[in-house]
Structure 1
Amino acid sequence: MFIYILQLPLRAKDNNKLNLSYFISKKLASGQKEGFSSTIHTIAIISIAIGLAASIVAFLIMKGFQETVKNKIYGFSGHLVITKFTMSNSQEEQPMNYQIDLYKNQVQYPFIDHIQEYAHKTGLIKTENDVVGVVIKGVGKSFDYNAFKENMVEGEFITFPDSGYASQVVLSRTIADKCEVKVGDNILIHFFQNPPRFRKLKVVGVYETNLSEYYDSKVILADLRMLQRLNDWSDSLAGGLEVFVKDPEKVDDAGVAIGEMMDFDLNIERVSDRYLQVFEWLHLLSRQVNILLGIILTVVCVNMISIILILVMERTQMIGLLKALGARDRFIRSVFVYNGINLVIKGLLLGNAIGLGLCFLQYQFKIFKLNPKDYYMSFVPISWHWEIVLLLNVLMLLIVSLVLLLPTMVISRINPIKAIRFD
């Protein structure tokens, strides 16, 4: 039989000559549908599938988690913040004239998506039963509601009138619960200044970012023009500017470009530096997932080495017969490499189906829930990054295929005579 195979001029339908070692590996695979070899093949496919599926799920969840937290922060504070430079340690903001060229001519800067003015002021919300300290963030008509609206859970946003200011506020769910107020109620806010002032404002909306330490526990949104009146500022003054860039991955480049064109009395800061602890934590997640990928690849490679060694030992007589017929070690090794690659490809197909299927179910139905107080979100997020899925497939295929060469080295040590007699 093997003499016939070695002498057979194999041709495909397109009359291109086929690889003989690939043909033999294919015949071996088709003849191993039952018995011990079939079990070994199944184990190999399942191990690769589970490894790839776990990698896909881990990376898409990690990306979803990072993007969800970042979008919450960026939607509230922008990517870059421009303020008045000061040497003072005072918590009060130094007003700046925000009508700078960058603000008035945004279209001339292609890397900028949006710019909005803001101001902060501290105060107390007084209710019948409690007093809650808050930070009032004043925003204007330029506020990017589209970036913020996913945080709105009840009511509507502030309606800015053409003249005067809106006597409306948007509270966080945390503050609303503390003050025992709901949408439509009025609250009384006392401001820290001399002489003391207060305003009666209507609650028109409730937001929730679950970032209680940074926003929900202390920040409420109000009309910027109210803070300007309280601070005796002109309409051209604000506490600072929030800059949204088109590509968040190029925030550093945008910051350098903006810094070169600003006056020396202005300071530019990345929002990621303001919330450094959160962003370092997100970076740590990336490192942990990469470590997980390394562990998965190691386990899969060890499994494949063991499986190929078993297949080589099981086909010892065939190897001896091929050597007796004049086949070189390289040729015989390629038979098992092709066999291994075939298992890897089947495992990758199954792994993609499992991994992407689980991600799709979570994305659509949000099956797995989270504690928002600990994870800043109420369910496990999924972010679709097809380039990552493709990279994981290519990485696993290349690494495992290269590892397959190691166990086939034992073929060169097999003696044809002993192999033919092997039982």
Structure 2
Amino acid sequence: MNVPFFIARRIRHTPTESFSATVTKVGVASIAIGLASVIVAFAVLFGYKYAIQQKIFVFGSHITVSKFSLNNSYEETPLALKTPLYQQAGTIPGVRHIQGVATKAGMLKTADELSGAILKGVGREYDWELFRSSLVAGTLPRFYKDSAQCNPNYSCQVLISKRISERLQLDVGKDVIMYFIGNQLRPRKLQVTGIYDTGLEEGDNVMVIGDLRLIQQLNNWGADSVGSYEVFVNDFNDLDNIYRQVREAASPDMRPMRVTDIYKPLFDWMTLLDQNTGIFLGLILFVAGFNMVAILLVLMLERTPMIGLLKAFGSSNTLIRRVFLYVGLNMVLKGLFIGNLLGIGLCALQYYFKLIPLDPKNYYMDTVPIAWNFTIIALVNVATIVLIALALWLPTLVATRIQPVKALVFKK
């Protein structure tokens, strides 16, 4: 028979109106609220980071490879598709997809409005999945089949953002003229087939998605020339390793760049969020541990005569310490159970019903995002048990200093 566990169980079944029962409920509640707060914080943090990254990848990629040049304008130096890097990128472990794109600055003009824009030309191999999830009206362009042909050499279909649509009062099916500046002004008539909305202001304000062949024609490039390669990886955490392999496979006149370098301020800010979350977790565990230590001291004070009686019967200090350690761990486990239900439940409500809205202009999204990471939740539970269990050893040392004679008359 496990004597410490038996005694601890008897202590737990004290009358509900007693002071120790109230203190126990406070301890369980502090653990539950603390854990629920941590679960919600991590779910929102990971959700926000994932949502922002996905919005960035709508307009870019994990690794962008361009021709090395001192030119800082949107006029790109052509990069051939028939290079060892482009043709063999699929053999690099961790690379999911590679595609050729090009960009060109211009002006969109309607009868009453004028707006600067950047045309991003994409080809057959372009991955439309992220844009498909951001589409709010119309359909995605179909450049190579069933597409409106303004010219025998390219399609005039384009995808514009909701911001551009509102600014120029353009709807799906409407035509718009885009002017490109070179040695002379070159207008091109385009047709809006779809409208997207990512919430990422930097891209939504200017980006128009069109046919790569249009930019090739404007720049007098061949069919095998693009402005840059976009490389996507399977695991973002393995980005640095894959980047080194891409850089080794690239020729000396190519310049690979990671998305973390292109959008460095944004990713530095995300790193700062990680640090703040770590501090928040530490504070929650500290407060929960402090509460448990105080509560266990109160329980031991109330049970001083019992401690004296056990010592009078020959119980060791280790046995008595284990009794109160079991009492404390029972409170921790109850708090973890309730905290998990509360935290996961709140996250599930937000995940499925979008109860808490956000201002897209400030937060890049319209609701609080939630990302499920049950590995992190499990690690937080384990860390809570281990750290609080270590903290609970401190108040149990008080039991070793209680003298049986004084303890037996404590309440008299």
- Tell me the TM-score normalised to structure 2 length: 0.96
Q: Distance in 1 between matches of 2:126 and 2:292?
A: 56
What does residue range 318-329 of structure 1 map to in structure 2 within 5 Å? 318-329=306-317
Aligned to 1:241: 229
Q: Distance in 1 between matches of 2:73 and 2:363?
A: 33
Aligned to 1:3: none
Are positions 1:336 and 2:319 aligned together? no
CA deviations 1:326-352 (Å, max 9, x no partner) are 112111111000000011001100000
Secondary structure of the corresponding residue to residue 179 of structure 2: strand
Q: Give the letter for the 1:156 counterpart.
A: T
Q: Distance in 2 between matches of 1:25 and 1:75?
A: 58
Aligned to 1:115: 98
Q: Distance in 2 between matches of 1:351 and 1:255?
A: 41
2:168 to 163, 179, 190: 179
Of 101-110 and 196-205, deviating more is 101-110
Are positions 1:200 and 2:183 aligned together? no
Give ranges in structure 1 of 5+ residues lacking alignment: 1-9, 11-18
Q: Give the letter for the 1:58 counterpart.
A: A
Q: Distance in 1 between matches of 2:114 and 2:302?
A: 79
What does residue range 23-422 of structure 1 map to in structure 2 within 5 Å? 23-161=6-144, 164-212=153-201, 214-422=202-410
1:313, distance to aligned residue in structure 2 (A): 0.3
Q: Give the letter for the 1:50 counterpart.
A: I
Q: Distance in 1 between matches of 2:143 and 2:112?
A: 31
Secondary structure of the corresponding residue to residue 35 of structure 2: helix
RMSD: 1.2
**Is contact 2:62–2:233 with CA below 8 Å preserved after alignment?**
yes
Q: Distance in 2 between matches of 1:294 and 1:32?
A: 34
Q: Distance in 2 between matches of 1:49 and 1:145?
A: 43
Secondary structure of the corresponding residue to residue 382 of structure 1: coil
Secondary structure of the corresponding residue to residue 240 of structure 2: helix
Secondary structure of the corresponding residue to residue 125 of structure 2: coil
Q: Give the letter for the 1:195 counterpart.
A: Q
1:284, distance to aligned residue in structure 2 (A): 1.4
1:280, distance to aligned residue in structure 2 (A): 1.2
Are positions 1:22 and 2:1 aligned together? no
Q: Give the letter for the 1:115 counterpart.
A: I
Q: Distance in 2 between matches of 1:264 and 1:64?
A: 38
1:112, distance to aligned residue in structure 2 (A): 1.0
Q: How many residues align?
A: 405
Q: Distance in 2 between matches of 1:101 and 1:371?
A: 45
**Is contact 1:98–1:240 with CA below 8 Å preserved after alignment?**
no
Of 397-406 and 83-92, deviating more is 83-92
Q: Distance in 2 between matches of 1:193 and 1:68?
A: 38
Same amino acid, percent of matched pairs: 40
Give ranges in structure 2 of 5+ residues lacking alignment: 146-151
Q: Give the letter for the 1:61 counterpart.
A: V
**Is contact 2:136–2:195 with CA below 8 Å preserved after alignment?**
yes
**Is contact 1:117–1:140 with CA below 8 Å preserved after alignment?**
yes
Q: Distance in 1 between matches of 2:265 and 2:236?
A: 18
Q: Distance in 2 between matches of 1:20 and 1:222?
A: 76
1:32, distance to aligned residue in structure 2 (A): 4.1
CA deviations 1:275-325 (Å, max 9, x no partner) are 111111111111111111111111101110110000000000001111111
**Is contact 2:90–2:97 with CA below 8 Å preserved after alignment?**
no
Aligned to 1:5: none
- Tell me the TM-score normalised to structure 1 length: 0.93
1:106, distance to aligned residue in structure 2 (A): 4.2
Q: Give the letter for the 1:149 counterpart.
A: R
